[in-house]
Chain A
Amino acid sequence: MRAYPRSLARLIEELEKLPGVGPKTAQRLALHLLHASAEDAAALAEAIQDVKQSIRECPVCFNYTDADLCPVCSDPHRDEATLCVVGEARDLLAMERAGGLRGRYHVLGGLLSPMDGIGPESLRISELLARVREGKIREVVLATNPTVEGDATAMYLAAQLRPLGVRVTRIALGLPVGGDLDYADDVTIARALEGRTEM
């Protein structure tokens, strides 16, 4: 790093802090930015500052928002009776990209993980239960990751939600679209069978 002027070294250092960016990539990105136009560089810097200043958590669902309520919560055409629970806001964005859900969301802010010290009180579970207790929600769709932590979280939530008299469902997990059956592992096949649908 000694060969670089101080300001360039600093940019490389900052870029290296980004997830998935190693020293080589950081160097490549920094040199790219160095050669970019002044406008492009300024636009990037401004976009980063803007996001930090204007983005907050939606007080209802904990999605990202730059207004009082997030775009989903403020949309009057959304189905109020269906609530989809996801681990992180990025999972919500993935669900929205797919566009299959007409209901609303609840972002937990993580998944239960004893090894990481993440218990029920570290997640927005009490907020979820409070939303369901309001009485408008009829079905809660649990859309946490199909991992050990995601499944354990879904099981835990289902046990908390059922006594409140709502229908609790889990998104179907199974064979990936376009995959070969004989490549799939036993758990995936077993779960695909469990989640089979009427034809």
Chain B
Amino acid sequence: MGRVRLYRVSSVVVRQRDLGEADRVLVLYTRERGKLAAVAKGIRRPRSKLAGSLQLFSHASIQLAAGRSLEVVTQARARDTFYELRTDMVRFAHASYAAELLDALTDQGMVDTVLFDLLLSTLAALDSGGDASAVIRGFEVKLLTRLGYGPELDECVSCGAEVEGRGQRFSVTQGGVLCAKCGPLGSGAHLSPAGLQALRELRHMDATAVSGKRLSASAREELARLMRAFVDSHLDRPLRSSAFLAQESLDSA
């Protein structure tokens, strides 16, 4: 038997499922290797040394052993467990949505430190009580933009003309705003000037700044509906946490 290859990464648990008697398979988003799946052996036993550091959403510094199909976690040290995320439903559900969305839109082996930092700052902003709706809209816009899906917010997606701040309509299928001329011809969704302005700002704000921003009730509702349709258009199947947010009426909370 050759020597087992060990390596360290900085990771966030984005999904987990129980395996066998006491193990768990974790889907980790890591800074150094992107998304990967790893087994945490014995983690469901009360005395597990891994359990405290590898809960859902936990940011930890971990050591992995390369396995044949799955990596194996050999050590873990918590950097931040984002404990407050479990103290209320709004934060819990939004953090779940962020983790599920990142998982759904990324493939294993794709390394992107920008996305890792985005996930981390989003969880931190939700944890510290930032406006969940604004934080999540910011997360969506930055995540989708980084992955090359848009949304286009400056030029008309139909004719390329510059779109003024007045805002008109938004085409989910074409992935961006329509100008005053093209808007009425297409089947875009309504996008108010305030909504467009908010989306443009969210693109460039980091999560900490976003968390201090409160969206108006109407912008909140409008953007939740619009972004949900836009995000769904890039997914193979709708996210469970997205349905949860809608069902519990938390998505514009």
Chain A residues engaging chain B, CB cutoff 8 angstroms = 19-20, 112-117, 119-120, 147-149, 151-152, 155-156, 176, 178-179, 183-188
Residue B96 contacts which of A115, A176, A178 (CB distance < 8 angstroms)? A115
Find the B residue at minimum CB distance from A116.
Answer: B240
Q: How far is the CA of A117 from the CA of B100 in the complex (A)?
A: 11
| Chain B residues whose CB sits within 8 angstroms of the CB of A120 once the complex forms | 248
Contact check, B57 vs A148: say whether CB atoms are below 8 A apart.
yes
Q: How far is the CB of A145 from chain B (nearest CB, A)?
A: 9
Contact check, B100 vs A115: say whether CB atoms are below 8 A apart.
yes
Q: Does B214 contact A (CB under 8 A)?
A: no
Chain B interface residue number, banded: 35 or more
Q: How far is the CA of A20 from the CA of B57 in the complex (A)?
A: 25
Contact check, A117 vs B244: say whether CB atoms are below 8 A apart.
yes
Q: Does B226 contact A (CB under 8 A)?
A: no
Q: How far is the CA of A74 from the CA of B79 in the complex (A)?
A: 48
| Chain A residues whose CB sits within 8 angstroms of the CB of B89 once the complex forms | 112, 152, 155-156
Contact check, B52 vs A114: say whether CB atoms are below 8 A apart.
no
Q: How far is the CB of B206 from chain A (nearest CB, A)?
A: 25
Q: How far is the CB of B177 from chain A (nearest CB, A)?
A: 30
| Chain B residues whose CB sits within 8 angstroms of the CB of A151 once the complex forms | 86-87
Contact check, A149 vs B56: say whether CB atoms are below 8 A apart.
yes
Residue B240 contacts which of A112, A115, A183 (CB distance < 8 angstroms)? A115
| Chain A residues whose CB sits within 8 angstroms of the CB of B57 once the complex forms | 148
| Chain B residues whose CB sits within 8 angstroms of the CB of A148 once the complex forms | 55-57, 85-86, 92
Q: Which of B81, B86, B96, B99 has the most CB of A within 10 A?
A: B86
Q: How far is the CB of A87 from chain B (nearest CB, A)?
A: 13
Known: A114-B100, A115-B96, A116-B240. 16 other contacts (CB 8 A): A113-B96, A114-B244, A114-B245, A148-B55, A148-B56, A148-B85, A151-B86, A176-B46, A176-B47, A185-B51, A185-B53, A185-B77, A186-B52, A186-B78, A187-B81, A187-B83
Chain B residues engaging chain A, CB cutoff 8 angstroms = 15, 19-21, 46-47, 49, 51-53, 55-57, 77-78, 81, 83, 85-89, 92-93, 96-97, 99-100, 240-241, 243-245, 247-248
Q: How far is the CB of A88 from chain B (nearest CB, A)?
A: 12
Residue A119 contacts which of B19, B52, B244 (CB distance < 8 angstroms)? B244
Q: How far is the CA of A156 from the CA of B86 in the complex (A)?
A: 10
Knowing A117-B243, A119-B244, the reply to whether A147 touches B87 (Cβ < 8 A) is no
| Chain A residues whose CB sits within 8 angstroms of the CB of B78 once the complex forms | 185-187
Q: How far is the CA of A176 from the CA of B51 in the complex (A)?
A: 12
Q: How far is the CB of A47 from chain B (nearest CB, A)?
A: 21
Q: How far is the CB of A20 from chain B (nearest CB, A)?
A: 4
Q: How far is the CB of A181 from chain B (nearest CB, A)?
A: 13
| Chain B residues whose CB sits within 8 angstroms of the CB of A115 once the complex forms | 15, 96, 99-100, 240-241
Find the A residue at minimum CB distance from B48.
Answer: A176
- List, sorted by A's number, 18 A–B pairs whose CB atoms are closer than 8 Å: A20-B19, A113-B96, A114-B97, A114-B240, A115-B15, A115-B99, A117-B240, A117-B243, A147-B55, A147-B56, A148-B57, A149-B56, A151-B86, A151-B87, A152-B87, A152-B92, A185-B51, A186-B81
Knowing A20-B20, A152-B86, the reply to whether A185 touches B52 (Cβ < 8 A) is yes
Knowing A20-B20, A114-B240, A115-B241, the reply to whether A188 touches B86 (Cβ < 8 A) is no
| Chain B residues whose CB sits within 8 angstroms of the CB of A147 once the complex forms | 55-56
| Chain B residues whose CB sits within 8 angstroms of the CB of A149 once the complex forms | 56
| Chain A residues whose CB sits within 8 angstroms of the CB of B19 once the complex forms | 20
Pairs A-B, 4 closest by C-beta atoms: A185-B52, A20-B20, A114-B96, A117-B240
